[in-house]
Amino acid sequence: MPGSVNLRECKVLERMVKMHAEKGGLYGAICAAPAVTLAHWGMLKGLKATCYPSFMEKFTAEVIPVNSRVVVDRNVVTSQGPGTAIEFALALVEQLYDKEKMEEVAGPLYVHPQHGADYTIEELNSVEWKCSGTPQVLVPVANGSEEIEALNLIDVLRRAGANVTVASVEDTLQIVTRRHKFNLIADMMLDEAAKMEFDLIVMPGGLSGAQKFASTDKLVDLLKKQAGSGKAYGAICASPAHVLEPHGLLREEGDGVSTHGALAY
């Protein structure tokens, strides 16, 4: 919300977006911004749009509100919030390129198959995980970690109230992510985190990042200690195949596991 208000009050941005729209350019907004920013600027008049559900009432009378995850009307794309951000971005890709390009980008992301479809979460060998008080979570990161996976893990777990510690397995706190070479600053080095106790250790993917995890003895020792204590641990993308399996952390009889499709065999 504060960000949308700050965008709304930026006169330079308002002029830029209005000039862009007058030339028929594509524009969009997500979460509170469709109602708080675009509608306030008068840029959704007569158009269908969506936004974060609790902000629907802030749409001006000229806007036609639609309760949908993503709405495309003419040259405007709007979306509901953090959980729809990837769908929103893919809708922009489709408008800028075409459906074929959108599907090309969406495929490797393993995006939710369609609006309203059930998530395919399969739980095997159910165990009741318990922790006292605020969950303490370790998210290791390395050069080459997949940025979407790392940031989503950190963000969603912190939104849930967990105390998430981001620890670098490299020689510095700053790591460079896999695809777009973002700089991510960890909270601490793994050596410091290794002195702490965690209810959950969970690793993002990214092939080179996963390979670094697998060769980091201190992290492997932490994972084995976590497993031996009956505490939760997990991984996504390349990390189940490159970290957990080689170190015997998936070998209990009847264990089921998911990994990136290209690494499943």
| 237 annotated active-site | yes
41 Cβ neighbours under 8 A, 6+ residues apart: 8, 14, 17, 18
- Cβ contact 165:191 at 8 Å: no
Tell the burial category of 180 from Cβ atoms under 10 Å away from its Cβ (0-12, 13-18, 19+): exposed
79 Cβ neighbours under 8 A, 6+ residues apart: 28, 29, 30, 31, 34, 50, 69, 70, 71, 85, 87, 88, 91
Q: Which residue in 258, 201, 189, 242 sits closest to 225, CA to CA?
A: 201
Among candidate residues 10, 31, 51, 237, the one labeled active-site is 237
Query: For residue 244, what are the β-bridge partners?
Result: none
Tell the burial category of 160 from Cβ atoms under 10 Å away from its Cβ (0-12, 13-18, 19+): exposed
44 Cβ neighbours under 8 A, 6+ residues apart: 34, 38, 59, 60, 62, 63, 76, 78
Structure tokens at 76: 């405007």
67 Cβ neighbours under 8 A, 6+ residues apart: 50, 53, 56
- Give the residue numbers annotated as catalytic, written as ranges: 237
